[in-house]
Amino acid sequence: MEQDELRDQLVDPKSPINIESLLDTITALVNDCKIPVLMRMKSVDNFISRYERVVESLAALRMKAADFRQLKVIGRGAFGEVHLVRHTRTNTVYAMKMLNKDDMIKRADSAFFWEERDIMAHANSEWIVRLQYAFQDPRHLYMVMEYMPGGDLVNLMTSYEVSEKWTRFYTAEIVEALAALHSMGYIHRDVKPDNMLISISGHIKLADFGTCVKMNANGVVRCSTAVGTPDYISPEVLRNQGQDAEFGKEVDWWSVGVFIYEMLVGETPFYAEALVSTYTNIMNHKTSLKFPDEPLISTQAKDIIKKFLSAAPDRLGRNSVDDIRNHKFFVNDEWTFATLREASPPVIPSLKSDDDTTHFEEIETRDRDNAGDFQLPKTFNGNQLPFIGFTYSNEYSPVKNLLKGHGA
């Protein structure tokens, strides 16, 4: 490998040997070896005494949680929370997602975050929430993302009576967001109003990509675990519980059908008290899909819902997104799919300040006795290895500039 080719690799955010990944590696090795039992071995003890100080000074130079002031908890998921934070150096607010490494190691579930990191880091799309930084410490992964002060569409649906006009706008924006994600080669698999966030301008962005999976060359994924939220899950993903299923991006278009129905009717089409009944309704969607007499729903709205909530081979969007864009449901006199970004959204969030969180539900802080549940491993488990390479910064860090010969 030539000299300048190696240097290019060291500064390429997509290279597995970029400088951030190499610094992650030495940090992970020290943290995984700094265990009393292991340090009885001469080689480990010598290594730690040479590198422990180096890694500590490195951590002080790199991005860390202490660089951000925690303002409010604005969301919670299976392995962590999202906090509204303010970056002390730049005074900018961000949404910072923290994932607990212990939980992921314990449940052997420590790979799902790569898709989320890569999509938000490299999408470069106005339809996808942007990742500003990703970093880590021995206990957590951190994703510093743009703050979406309008909250999610669940919050909007509980705050307003959503008209067909509004539904048309938000559906069109989600169609463009999913088209962007699919064009990157990913399927979302958990499209639901919770993952549709409203920006300061009132336009929508897709968020929470933990369930995303990369399509193969034929545009399908083989994966048995049924991922997603019951109400929005497609029949083909449900049917192949456990077995090795093959499905494509049309699973996301099914969820859009559920979303349109929910915005217009006020509840999801296959909802039932018992989860197993919801599944039955989804499997029998041909007969279970019903439209109530109230509220009145236009024929074109019913038509597009039926075309999304149909069997995978005939589902709208299966062949091309244009089949969706050309559906008569979207015909209106204010915008087209080409001018959507310039159209004025139904709701422009009213905000008193850059850290206004009124559009987010109150979340009780979970007082986890952090000290309690963290025990030092007894031997080398390599618990830090799954997270090497996660660190990312979308600006040139001083180190990268140095390597590129631009000076500090």
Ligand X SMILES: CN(C)[C@H]1CCc2nc(NC(=O)c3cccc([C@H]4CCCN4C(=O)Nc4cccc(C#N)c4)c3)sc2C1
Among 30, 38, 82, 233, binds ligand X (CB under 6 A): 82
Tokens of 252: 């996301």
Question: Would residue 314 show up in a list of annotated catalytic residues for this protein?
Answer: no
Should residue 78 be labelled a site residue for ligand X when binding is judged by CB under 6 A? yes
Should residue 75 be labelled a site residue for ligand X when binding is judged by CB under 6 A? yes
| Smaller CB separation from ligand X, 109 or 303 | 109
| Smaller CB separation from ligand X, 145 or 309 | 145
Least distance from ligand X to the Cβ atom of residue 348, Å: 16
Choose the binding region for ligand X from 42-50, 140-148, 309-317, 351-359 (rule: CB under 6 A): 140-148
Choose the binding region for ligand X from 12-20, 80-88, 279-287, 309-317 (rule: CB under 6 A): 80-88
Least distance from ligand X to the Cβ atom of residue 171, Å: 21
Instruction: Indicate the residue type of 404.
Output: K
Q: Treating both helix axes as pointing N-terminal to C-terminal, what angle do 19-33 and 42-61 enclose, rounded to 10 degrees?
A: 130
Among 18, 27, 125, 211, binds ligand X (CB under 6 A): 211
Q: Treating both helix axes as pointing N-terminal to C-terminal, what angle do 3-11 and 19-33 enclose, rounded to 10 degrees?
A: 70
Q: What is the largest CA-CA distance in the chain?
A: 78
Choose the binding region for ligand X from 144-152, 284-292, 376-384, 400-408 (rule: CB under 6 A): 144-152
In the complex, residue closest to ligand X by CB: 77
Should residue 210 be labelled a site residue for ligand X when binding is judged by CB under 6 A? yes
Catalytic-role residue among 24, 118, 152, 190: 190
Should residue 248 be labelled a site residue for ligand X when binding is judged by CB under 6 A? no
Q: What is the 3-state secondary structure of 307-373?
A: HHCCCHHHCCCCCCHHHHHCCHHHCCCCCCCCCHHHCCCCCCCCCCCCCCCCCCCCCCCCCCCCCCC
Should residue 81 be labelled a site residue for ligand X when binding is judged by CB under 6 A? yes
The answer for 73, left when phi > 0, alpha when psi is -120 to 50, beta otherwise, is beta
Least distance from ligand X to the Cβ atom of residue 148, Å: 4
Should residue 144 be labelled a site residue for ligand X when binding is judged by CB under 6 A? no
How far apart CA 9 and CA 125 sit, in angstroms, is 25
* Contact indicator for 405, 9 with CB cutoff of 8 Å: no
* Contact indicator for 176, 324 with CB cutoff of 8 Å: no
Tokens of 168: 């048309």
Least distance from ligand X to the Cβ atom of residue 111, Å: 8
Q: Classify burial at 208, counting beta carbons within 10 Å of its beta carbon; exposed 0-12, middle 13-18, buried 19 or more.
A: buried
According to DSSP, the β-strands at 92-100 and 131-136 are unpaired
* Contact indicator for 131, 145 with CB cutoff of 8 Å: yes
Should residue 207 be labelled a site residue for ligand X when binding is judged by CB under 6 A? yes
Should residue 265 be labelled a site residue for ligand X when binding is judged by CB under 6 A? no
| Smaller CB separation from ligand X, 189 or 307 | 189
CA-to-CA dists, residue 31 to 58, 190, 194, angstroms: 13, 35, 36
Site string for ligand X, 89-118 (x = CB under 6 A): ------x-x-x---------x--x------
Binding site for ligand X (CB under 6 A): 75-82, 95, 97, 99, 109, 112, 129, 145, 147-148, 197, 207-208, 210-211
**Catalytic residue ranges:** 190
